[in-house]
Amino acid sequence: MSQASRDSLAQLHTELKATLSAGGVELGAELFAALKVIDENGALRRSITDPTVEANRRQELIRKIFANKVSANAVTVLQNLAGVRWTTEREFGDALEEMAATTAIYSAEQGGLAGLKTLTQQLLEFNRVVEASHELQRALTDHQAPVSSRGDLADNLMSANALNSAKLLVRQAVENPRGVKPVDLVRRFADLSAQQQRQWIADVTVARPLQQAQLDRLAGSLSSTFGRQLQLNVHTDPQLIGGIRIQVGDEVIDSSVASRLNDLNTKLAG
């Protein structure tokens, strides 16, 4: 995906997070179903990605086609995607696929960090089972077999306690891999789940080890700030000189002396 399209997708993730989080596995399934329709209809795909067509007209086309077929939340996501310019038609589909997968991942996240870890583990375990058997690999990619049969086989390979989100993602990868190997798409979904785990982990770097009471206060403060119970990964780096550096996902809080000195040197050099 081009950087421009990646930036657009990141912005949409931010704007639609509440919708995606509330939709659950059902919304993910609807978005995957819409993706299949769009992938199979070249005229539709071109119409909703044509940069010469005004965004509101592309969005209205989405409404007319999908309003009576999927939920209002699904239409909202589809219209938001159609309102953005994408470098290629394929990138629209890739973005929709990631949105659908993210919805399933948010569903697993209802169980906190443990839910995300479970989802990632179940996806990777499916891949381990498949990659250990050439027979399974052939069966899951046999285009002569009905799509639903391949999906049913994938379901049967999942553990009895598999999350619904894991089942949805695996079935999607097997039934509609969109030109890649199913295991490669499952791995991509696992990577997305692993990335979301970072939102629950605070990487803390300090110049000197912290006492337990300090760690407890820091954990409480960060969990209050971010609105979730963060897991702390604490590292010691004497080069910080003093202060603390915290990273949660892509967000960085840096109050270290080394950082302030670097800022000062930059200003002096300028």
- Which pLDDT tens digit goes with each residue over 162-191? 999 999 999 999 999 999 999 999 999 999
Tell how far CA 14 is from the center of its chain. 12
CA distance 55 to 39: 20
Closest CA to 39 of 86, 94, 93, 101: 93
Instruction: Compare 161 and 257 and report the one with higher pLDDT.
Output: 161
Instruction: Give me 215's structure tokens.
Output: 């760690």
Residue-level pLDDT at 6 = 85
Q: Does position 266 have pLDDT exceeding 60, yes or no? A: no
What is the rounded average pLDDT for all residues in the chain?
A: 89
Q: Are 61 and 82 in contact (CB under 8 A)?
A: yes
Model pLDDT for residues 93-137, shown as the tens digit of each residue: 999 999 999 999 999 999 998 999 999 999 999 999 999 999 999
Tell how far CA 238 is from the center of its chain. 35
Residue-level pLDDT at 45 = 93
Q: Domain residue spans in the chain?
A: 3-197, 207-269
Share of the chain above pLDDT 90, in %: 63
Q: Does position 217 have pLDDT exceeding 60, yes or no? A: yes
Q: Which residues have C-beta within 8 Å of that of residue 258, sequence separation ≥ 6?
A: 239, 240, 241, 243
> Where residue 239 falls among pLDDT bands split at 50, 70, 90?
confident
Enter the pTM of the model: 0.82
Name the residue type at position 238: P
Least confident of 29-38, 164-173, 203-212: 203-212
Q: Are 91 and 2 in contact (CB under 8 A)?
A: yes
> Where residue 261 falls among pLDDT bands split at 50, 70, 90?
very low
Strand-pair partners of 252? 247
Instruction: Compare 231 and 119 and report the one with higher pLDDT.
Output: 119
CA distance 228 to 230: 6
